[in-house]
């Protein structure tokens, strides 16, 4: 996430867009920028089971990153993306739907956000929110966006497999009391789904939807050093993680 943070900071006045896909070395909890960690995370369980906790710069709710595809899009291009949060969020959802369609998965956009979800402390994958991607009433992609002027960064989680038991354990959900309306690529297709295979189709769908050609990028040594600095100052810093 320090890489996403760096790319967002690097956006200038000239239009530019970056798309990334990545995965996690081990189960990790991320919380939204303004969430109170003690209200949404079982920190004792995470410590005892070696699960890291990190605070995102984007908003949204708790996400368990585990056996998933994580995507990020950051851009300053208002010709491709709307300058408004809601409309740019919806555009990205439509592009991700195109990627799912290429995998053979039919999906739609949720029409509204349940009040119990928007006002409560439930994790991201407990319910689909408005304009998030769902399949048969269950969330299959969860996303959150940060915006400053015409620049934005959007993160998202696309489960390859789901682990409701672990999600309940890290997020203070009582067993059986609150529902989890989530699904995964593997569940939707009825077979195991590989990270590389999923990314190939998501990349193709996004490029097709926006009618763009994606060009691979790499970081210079100075850029890698800047990313490392952000990682140390934020994502490895307990005062950042435990803020609020």
Give the separation between CA 224 and CA 3, rounded to whole angstroms.
Answer: 9
Q: What is the b/e burial string over 66-100, where b = at least 16 CB atoms within 10 angstroms of the residue's CB?
A: bbbbbbbbbbbeeeebeeeeeebbbbbbbbbbbbb
Kindly name the residue from 64, 110, 124, 140 that is annotated as catalytic. 124
Sign of CA dihedral 152, 37, 1, 238: positive
Determine whether 74 is an active site residue. no
Q: CA-to-CA distance for 160 and 165, rounded, in angstroms?
A: 16
- d(Cα 140, Cα 157) in Å, to the nearest integer? 8
Alpha helices for the chain (secondary structure H): 2-10, 37-40, 43-48, 85-103, 115-119, 164-170, 185-189, 195-210, 221-230, 238-241
Question: Is residue 188 classed exposed, middle or buried when 0-12, 13-18 and 19+ CB atoms within 10 A define those classes?
Answer: buried
Question: Annotated catalytic sites, by residue?
Answer: 124
């Amino acid at each position: 996430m320090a890489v996403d943070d760096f790319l967002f900071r690097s956006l200038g006045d000239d239009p530019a867009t970056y798309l990334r896909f990545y995965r996690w070395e081990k189960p990790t909890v991320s919380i939204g920028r303004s969430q109170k960690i003690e209200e949404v995370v079982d920190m004792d369980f995470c410590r005892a089971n070696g699960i890291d906790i990190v605070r995102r710069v984007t908003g949204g709710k708790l996400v368990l990153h585990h056996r998933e595809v994580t995507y990020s899009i950051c851009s300053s291009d208002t010709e491709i993306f709307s300058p408004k949060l809601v409309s740019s969020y919806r555009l990205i959802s439509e592009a991700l739907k195109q990627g799912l369609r290429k995998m053979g998965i039919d999906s739609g956009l949720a029409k509204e956000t349940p009040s119990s979800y928007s006002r409560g402390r439930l994790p991201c994958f407990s319910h689909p929110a408005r304009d998030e991607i769902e399949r048969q009433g269950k969330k299959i992609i969860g996303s959150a966006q940060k915006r400053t002027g015409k620049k934005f960064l959007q993160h998202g989680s696309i489960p390859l497999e789901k682990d409701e038991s672990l999600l309940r354990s890290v997020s203070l959900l009582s067993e059986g009391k609150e529902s989890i309306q989530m699904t995964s690529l593997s569940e939707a297709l009825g077979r195991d789904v590989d990270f590389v295979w999923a990314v190939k189709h998501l990349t193709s769908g996004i490029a097709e939807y926006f009618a763009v050609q994606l060009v691979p990028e790499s970081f210079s040594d100075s850029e890698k050093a800047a990313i490392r600095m952000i990682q140390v100052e934020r994502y490895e810093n307990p005062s950042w993680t435990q803020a609020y």
